[in-house]
Structure 1
């Protein structure tokens, strides 16, 4: 029986991101790292102050949807008090689009992606090269959705990409866009990477390592 840090995976929302399957993948990844893992299919987990106070890391796999005022406040209060918060792709930065307080917590928000999958390079920044989340990870390529995101000025950008040519938004071509970032939120740590549209993306070795190491970094 695991006796390590306690993690809560909250998964649900839009089925196009396979929240059940990716949540299970994450649970296995954390279990292998020694975490005690609880999986929840309800945003009401964010109303349980006792649960969150006893949780060292919340991993969210919940695309779109809505948070109630109480759910939003519960999550943000827990992170500010020291509970870590982490996730990937739409499960963290295309969630709760109307909740700008939530977007302050994540430090970024999905805005656009081309209609087709593209092959793109992920490049660690100088900050990323020395950050525990990217330890041992160099340049790599993925073929999947490429997210164009808006990020807060204060986040620590760990990896970037050049946005691909896209006939619908040609003005975005060549723009350097954050892929992976981290920030402090009160006593808590927040980790985000935008790769991960499908389960196959998560099993790319560099992506798996980034998410595993990022979650460990974010843990209380």
Structure 2
């Protein structure tokens, strides 16, 4: 049986515990044995490499050197790494090594909760199969991203809240490699209720399965 580690914590505004419960149910439905921790100390465990998948749900916060080193090495050696929104894309802001591994970092969400459109750019990819462009209501993440990411979906910003970003296209969903490990990220998912949007939930579920080792 495959094993997954979910680590939640950080800023409570992103409902990390509630999201961890939703993701945990998803993974159990897919046959995973799931371990859930609420401290990043889990990343320093020498047995971290035994997991097939790690799902971080920790917005902002800080992380100790031995913890980031353990996480970085585990993914580099083949453990899958997958997550969503600020729980993965806005974690440990001072840790450039972490951002390098994720492939991006949150910068802003102009207008806060707004209506926007997610545009599927690779409909033939297994993660996005059967999903077409869809409307979404949440924080629209403006991110700094690695040009080496394999982008699966994007969003186009309007100038309503920041005139200078009008028409800018920013990745929403991507996958990438970090050494031998697979990394998946989706910027959707501000609150746990967003998992009720079928497209969003399907993307996260498939992304985690793609990232998992083996």
- Runs of 4+ that moved beyond 3 A: none
TM-score calculated relative to the size of structure 2: 0.97
Change (3 A) 1:202 1:164: farther
Q: 2:16 aligns with which of 19, 22, 25?
A: 19
Matched, 1:83 2:79: yes
Match of 2:125 in 1: 131
Aligned residues: 213
Deviations 1:73-107 (A, max 9, x none): 10010000100001000000110001000000000
Deviations 1:135-194 (A, max 9, x none): 221111111110000101111111001013333x21112211100001011110000000
Matches within 5 A, 1:1-220: 4-50=1-47, 52-125=48-121, 128-167=122-161, 169-220=162-213
Between 116-125 and 53-62, the greater mean CA deviation after superposition:
116-125
Using the alignment, how far apart are the partners of 2:46 and 2:159 within structure 1?
A: 46
Using the alignment, how far apart are the partners of 2:160 and 2:105 within structure 1?
A: 20
Using the alignment, how far apart are the partners of 1:116 and 1:158 within structure 2?
A: 23
Using the alignment, how far apart are the partners of 2:138 and 2:167 within structure 1?
A: 17
Using the alignment, how far apart are the partners of 1:203 and 1:141 within structure 2?
A: 14
Change (3 A) 1:155 1:174: same
Root-mean-square deviation over aligned CA pairs: 0.9
Shift in Å at residue 206 of structure 1?
Answer: 0.3
TM-score calculated relative to the size of structure 1: 0.94
Gaps of 5+ in 2: none
Using the alignment, how far apart are the partners of 1:66 and 1:131 within structure 2?
A: 34
Gaps of 5+ in 1: none
